[in-house]
Amino acid sequence: MALQWKSVCAPTDFSDASRPAFRMAIELAAHFDAQLMLLYVQEVPPMAHLGPPIQQSVLDEMDAQVRRLLDSWKRESEELGARRSSATMVVGVAFDQIVRFASESRADLIVMGTHGRTALRHVLIGSVAEKVVRHARCPVLTIHPPELRPPGGPPEQAGPTLPPTR
């Protein structure tokens, strides 16, 4: 049975650690002629409710900045070979929204980066990628940032290059 992915969900936080995963998601979407679904989750920090309310103009500017970044990443994905792509922003808890979005959009695969948090920081805040792996209904491919990869591999490539399709 041949592997057929028709849709690839690529959650991002726009960090450097998410770039290799973004590139791999593009490569997979191009290889399988799959839809690439970029996703950004706007999380409200838990402490936000304890301080003074954030002005609506600040929230509007943050929203506009995220939308500009999503549009830019969407254009880049199309330039790099993802023929069908979309970009979505949702609000909520990151891992929960990623799992929900992937399920509701019937994603065949989630491709996401890891930040490589260590010991205490990982215990205190957990890992979004780890929670997505545990709760997602579809396969999850996690891509480590370059500084966490074993030495000797190509520095710019997120993973193996796929063979051409028939």
| Residue 122, in any domain of the structure | yes
Assigned domain for 153 exists: no
Answer whether residue 166 is part of any domain.
no
Alpha-helical regions (H) of 16-55: 19-32
In a domain? residue 155? no
Quick check: is 71 in a domain? yes
Q: Is residue 2 part of a domain?
A: no
Give the Cα separation of 10 and 22 in Å (integer). Answer: 6
* Residue 68 structural domain: 7-148
Read off the CATH number of the domain in which 81 is found: 3.40.50.620
Q: How many domains does the chain have?
A: 1
Q: What is the pTM of this model?
A: 0.80
**Mean pLDDT value of segment 151-160:** 50
CA distance linking residue 97 with residue 39, whole number of Å? 9
**138, 111 contact by CB (below 8 A):** no
Q: Which of 115, 83, 148, 123 shows the shortest CA–CA distance to 11?
A: 115
Looking up tokens 């301080």, which residue turns up?
51
Question: What is the spatial distance between Cα 113 and Cα 128, in angstroms, rounded to a whole number?
Answer: 10
pLDDT in tens, 11-44: 999 988 889 999 999 999 999 999 999 999 998 7
pLDDT at residue 163 in the model: 53
Kindly state whether residue 162 falls inside one of the protein's structural domains: no
Residue 112: name the closest of 43, 48, 36 by CA: 36
**Which two three-digit tokens encode residue 28?**
């997979």
Comparing 18-32, 60-74, 81-95, 147-161, the range with the smallest average pLDDT is: 147-161
**Residue 87 is which amino acid?**
A
Residue 45 forms part of a structural domain: yes
